[in-house]
């Protein structure tokens, strides 16, 4: 079957791309504003370049056109922390996708522990085995409610147990597979 994207609805385009371009790691982003730690997952996330070290994450605006807290916080403070989740964090990752008012922290509401690791950057999820500490570079205007954001990796945290003596890294990141998650090479229905 050949699908002509010019004839598909926005939701059909999204579901087609989500179910064909996978697995993708989840950008589980912590930001901070006025003492409130925001934590939200984004499934449109990928490396962009290693020289310079860039990643791109696409953040849709809310239905009413207002920017999501993550987007607004990154634009305001120019930094974020991208946590890479493993299977033990799946429920926390799913819970943190709930849209909450700006003044309510997903971490506090769902009991997700964070820890400060690098001055000038939001805290990372305490149980994450890997986190990317990033600075804002620029957005890419697409003329719709999606606005990809290019971020430069300044530092990376990797739990010692995930790196061998030759610095080979082994992580079991949760990947997005359509409306499911890929955990240990198995598809898990989202809750």
User: What pLDDT does 104 receive?
Assistant: 96
User: What pLDDT does 191 receive?
Assistant: 40
Mean pLDDT over each residue of the chain, to the nearest integer: 86
Give the Cα separation of 85 and 39 in Å (integer): 12
Would 19 be classed as within a structural domain?
A: no
pLDDT tens-place string over residues 31-61: 999 999 999 999 889 888 888 899 999 998 8
Residue with tokens 């916080």: 73
Would 54 be classed as within a structural domain?
A: yes
Average pLDDT over residues 130-147: 90
pLDDT tens-place string over residues 166-189: 878 888 888 765 555 556 555 555
Q: Which domain holds residue 143?
A: 24-189
CATH number for 166? 2.30.110.10
List helix spans (H) across 99-167.
106-110
Q: Which band of pLDDT confidence, cut at 50, 70 and 90, is reported for residue 121? A: very high
Would 29 be classed as within a structural domain?
A: yes
- The H or E element containing residue 129 is none
Would 90 be classed as within a structural domain?
A: yes
- The H or E element containing residue 132 is strand 130-139
Q: Which band of pLDDT confidence, cut at 50, 70 and 90, is reported for residue 21? A: low
Domains contained in the chain, number: 1
Q: Are 12 and 22 in contact (CB under 8 A)?
A: no
């Amino acid at each position: 079957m050949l699908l002509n994207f010019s004839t598909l609805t926005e939701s059909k385009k999204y579901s087609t791309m989500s179910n064909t371009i996978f697995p993708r790691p989840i950008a589980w982003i912590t930001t901070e504003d006025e003492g409130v730690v925001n934590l939200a997952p984004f499934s449109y996330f990928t490396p962009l370049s290693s020289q310079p070290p860039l990643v791109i994450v696409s953040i849709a605006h809310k239905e009413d056109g207002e920017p999501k807290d993550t987007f607004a916080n990154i634009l305001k403070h120019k930094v974020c922390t991208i946590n890479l989740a493993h299977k033990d964090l799946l429920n926390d990752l799913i819970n943190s996708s709930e849209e909450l008012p700006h003044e309510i922290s997903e971490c506090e509401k769902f009991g997700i522990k964070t820890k400060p690791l690098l001055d000038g950057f939001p805290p990372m999820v305490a149980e994450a085995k890997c986190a990317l500490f990033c600075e804002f570079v620029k957005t890419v205007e697409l003329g719709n409610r999606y606005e990809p954001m290019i971020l430069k990796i300044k530092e990376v945290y990797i739990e010692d147990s995930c790196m061998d003596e030759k610095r080979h890294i082994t992580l079991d990141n949760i990947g997005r597979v359509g409306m499911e998650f890929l955990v240990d090479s198995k598809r898990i229905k989202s809750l």
